[in-house]
């Protein structure tokens, strides 16, 4: 494990180079566990080179429970970004030019709520989509869990506790300027704010798309309700005009 400290605008950034998982990773494990138990954090992958078709960006395993893990996969052949947990697997489609060999950065933002985790994917400062995991990542990793963390040695990984600043500084050409470290010795236990996630720093296009989908869904429900009312009225009229259906009458 190599640890590099970088200073940007008076902020200290803890950047983790993982060349092996065989040595002691106490500092990294502590930082990662604090992040997994925080309300909001991000994983920032830098110095990316397309040298394989399908590539695992990060694998976090709980050595105290071999069936518990969290994995991030960049499936290049089908332009899929895959998130896998013990009970969930989902993907976000990323449409990139085939002749593009390098990526500048991948930012994976996490917002944890009472029963869900919202994941937002940015590739080279462009938001490509979101996933909602129906549980919290924190439930799989205890505060004292022993982790095994595997990452490609060619990638630079930074754990960030204020991902909103990275997105707001993308236009400056150096998104790393806004990164801040996860404070391992601070209490980062999230405040529970209910089951419905509040998505911060939401891209305007994503918000407009969500609103349009909601309006279309409401319109569809209204049409179905009106159709049911029409069917009910028709059925009532048939019953009222049905001589055989009237009680007490013999035919």
pLDDT tens digits, one per residue of 38-54:
888 998 888 666 555 56
Share of the chain above pLDDT 70, in %: 63
- Top pLDDT among 16 and 230 is at 230
Q: What pLDDT does 146 receive?
A: 82
Q: Which two tokens stand for residue 113?
A: 């709520």
Rounded-to-integer distance, Cα 64 and Cα 88, Å: 20
Q: What pLDDT does 200 receive?
A: 46
Mean pLDDT value across residues 88-111: 78
Structure confidence at residue 80 as a pLDDT band (50, 70, 90): confident
Rounded-to-integer distance, Cα 198 and Cα 202, Å: 10
47-56, 112-121, 170-179 — which one is most confidently predicted on average?
A: 112-121
Mean pLDDT value across residues 108-116: 88
């Amino acid at each position: 494990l190599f640890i590099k400290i970088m200073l940007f605008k008076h902020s200290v950034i803890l950047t983790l180079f993982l060349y092996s998982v065989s040595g002691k990773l106490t500092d990294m494990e502590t930082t990662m566990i604090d992040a997994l138990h925080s309300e909001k954090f991000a994983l920032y992958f830098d110095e990316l080179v397309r040298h394989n078709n399908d590539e695992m960006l990060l694998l976090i395993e709980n050595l105290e429970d071999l069936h518990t893990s969290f994995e991030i996969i960049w499936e290049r052949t089908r332009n899929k970004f895959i998130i896998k947990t013990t009970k969930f697997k989902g993907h976000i489609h990323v449409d990139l030019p085939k002749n593009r060999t390098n990526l500048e950065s991948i930012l994976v933002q996490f917002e944890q709520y009472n029963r869900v985790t919202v994941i937002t994917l940015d590739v080279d400062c462009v938001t490509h989509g979101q996933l909602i995991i129906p549980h919290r990542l924190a439930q799989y990793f205890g505060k004292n869990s022993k982790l095994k963390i595997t990452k490609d040695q060619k990638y630079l990984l930074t754990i960030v506790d204020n991902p909103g600043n990275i997105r707001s500084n993308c236009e400056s050409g150096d998104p790393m300027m806004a990164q801040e470290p996860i404070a391992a010795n601070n209490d980062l236990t999230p405040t529970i704010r209910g089951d419905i996630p509040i998505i911060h720093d939401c891209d305007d296009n994503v918000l407009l798309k969500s609103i349009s989908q909601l309006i279309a869904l409401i319109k569809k429900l209204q049409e179905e309700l009106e159709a049911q009312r029409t069917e009910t009225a028709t059925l009532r009229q048939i019953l009222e005009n049905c001589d055989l259906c009237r009680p007490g009458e013999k035919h």
